[in-house]
Structure 1
C-alpha cells in the first residue's frame, strides 16, 4: 500500500469504525445510577443539592420561595486519555487488520470508564464527603424535624463484610452525578510534517475526554456492610422509605437498584430472585430491585 493522505484517511476511518462499534456494544451501568450533567467549564457547583421542592398547601399570603443555597459543593473535571502507536511500515504492508482488536478494546474500555469512576466513588462513599460535609454514607446527616429542631439522619448499616448499596434511581435526580465537559473522542496524528511522526515513523491514535463523577443526594442511597440477608435488605429498604426531609416530611424514597460486587452476587440473587425464602413460604423481596453487579465496588 502506498502511504499517502488517502491511505491514512482510510486507515483512520477503519480504526474509528472499529472503536465506535465496540464502544456502542460494551455493557455499562453508570447511566442507571448517575444523572448526566453537561459541563461548560473547568468545574461545576451544585448549590441546589439537598433541596426537595415538595408541594405545600397554599393558604394565605405569598408563595414561600425555596432558596437554592450554595453548599460550596463542586465537581472539577478531570482529563483522561489512552494512546497507541502504529508504525508506518505496518500501514504500508497493509497489516491494518492486526490492529482491529486493539481499537475494539480501546472502545470497550472507554465505554466502561464511567462505570469505573461512578461506582468507584460509590465504594468510597463511606469516607468521601457529600454536599452536607458528612461522609456520603453516615449515621449523622444533619436535618430538622417537624418542629424545626436539629436532628441527625442515617443512611448506613454497619458491619464488617463487603459493602452493598441500595439506591433510588427512579427520579430525574440520581444518587450520583456523571459530569461531561468533553465526551470520549477518537483522534489521530498522522501528518507527515508532525515532528513526532517525522522522527519516529509512528502514527498516534487515541481517545481523550474531560469528565468526572460526583456524589449526589445521599437521601437516595443506602450503604451497608452488614451481611446481605433478607432481613438486612428489608431493614435497609424500610430505612430509606421512612427518610424525612426538613420539617419532617416524608421524601417518598423508592429503592429500585441493589448494587453489589461479584462476591455478593450469589447472596443478592438469593434475596431478589428466589421464589421462596429460607424458612419456607414465598419470598416477599423477589423482584423488588434491579440487581447491578460490578467489580468497581469491591
Structure 2
C-alpha cells in the first residue's frame, strides 16, 4: 500500500502529467492549418489594422504617401476554460491509480482538440457573426472601396463583394492560409496548463478526501480577413469549386488593386469527405480526362463545422 506523503503525491502528479502531455502531443489537431496564433497580453486584444492591405506604389518625386490605418474597433476578448477531475484518497491508498490513466490521456486529447472546436466552430458561425467591416464574416455585400463603384455610403464609393453562396447542402469552405494574416485568429492569453490540488493540508482535500487534477486556459478565436475565405452551401463539385477559386483569386482591395489571393485549404464536414477527396485527390474527372484540380488544396475534414 503506497504511503500517502508529499513525495508520493508529487510523483503521482508527474505521472499523470506525463500521460496527459503524451496524449496532448499525439492528438490530431488541425486548427493551426487555418488559424494564425497571436499571443495576448491582456484581457482582450484589438485588431484595428484588419482590413488594410499594404501595397507598394512607385515613388517618383516628393515625400512618401502615408496611409493611416483605420481603426475598425475589432476586439477579441479572451475566454477562460477548465476541465477538472478528482481522485479519491482511498483509490490512492489502494494503489488503483492505474485505472485513471485513460482518463488523463483523454484529458490531454481533449485539450489538444479544444482549439479545433473553437476555431472551426467559429467558422461555422460566420454567416451570423460580424467581422472587422461590420458585416457578417460570410456575407454577400462586404464593402470594398472602389472609385468606379455604384454604391455610396457616408460619402465614399463602395462596391459590394460576396464571399458566401447559399444553398441546401452542407457548408464547405475554401481558404487562403498562405499569408501572414489568416481567415481566423487564434488568441492565446494563457495556454492549456495541467494543474493539481494534492497537498494533504489543503482545506478542500481535508474536507472531501479527494485530490483534484485539471486543465485551465484563457484563449479565444476571432475572424481575420474575410477576403481569405469563402463559404458555400452549393454542391461540392468541380464547377462550383472552380468558380469560387476564380472569384477569390480575382478579388481586389481598395482602389481596385488585386490582392493576390491563392486558395490552398478546403474545409469540409464529414458528410462531404468523399466529395472532397474525389474532387482533389483523383487523377481523372467523372467524364474522363485528367483532373485539373488534383492537389490544388489541402483537405481538412472536421466535425466542428456542424455540416
What is the Cα deviation at residue 158 of structure 1?
2.1
- Provide the aligned length of Structure 1 versus Structure 2: 298
Aligned to 1:197: 205
CA-atom RMSD in angstroms: 0.9
Inter-partner Cα distance in structure 2 for 1:189 and 1:233: 52
Point out 4+ residue stretches in structure 1 off by more than 2 angstroms: 146-149
TM-score by length of 1: 0.98
TM alignment of 1:260-271, pairs within 5 A = 260-271=268-279
Query: How far apart, CA to CA, are the structure 2 residues paired with 1:137 and 1:30?
Result: 19
Stretches of structure 1 lacking an aligned partner (at least 5 in a row):
none
CA distance in 2 between partners of 1:146 and 1:253 (Å): 21
Would you say the 8 A contact 1:146–1:249 is kept in 2? Answer: no
Q: Counterpart of 1:80? A: 81
Deviation at 1:194, TM superposition (A): 1.5
Per mean C-alpha deviation after superposition, the further-off stretch among 149-158 and 224-233 is 149-158
Map residues 85-234 of structure 1 onto 2, 5 A cutoff. Answer: 85-147=86-148, 149-234=157-242
- The answer to whether the 8 A contact 1:156-1:222 is kept is yes
List alignment gaps of at least 5 residues for structure 2.
149-155
The DSSP-based 3-state class of the residue aligned with 1:149 is strand
How far apart, CA to CA, are the structure 2 residues paired with 1:61 and 1:200? 76
Q: Single out whichever of 251-260 and 268-277 deviates more from structure 2.
A: 268-277
Query: What is the TM-score of this pair, normalised by structure 2?
Result: 0.95
**1:60 alignment partner, SS class:** coil
3-state DSSP of counterpart to 1:126:
coil
Contact 1:157 1:236 in 2 (8 A): no
SS of 1:125 mapped into structure 2: coil
Deviations 1:252-289 (A, max 9, x none): 00000000000000111111011111121111101000
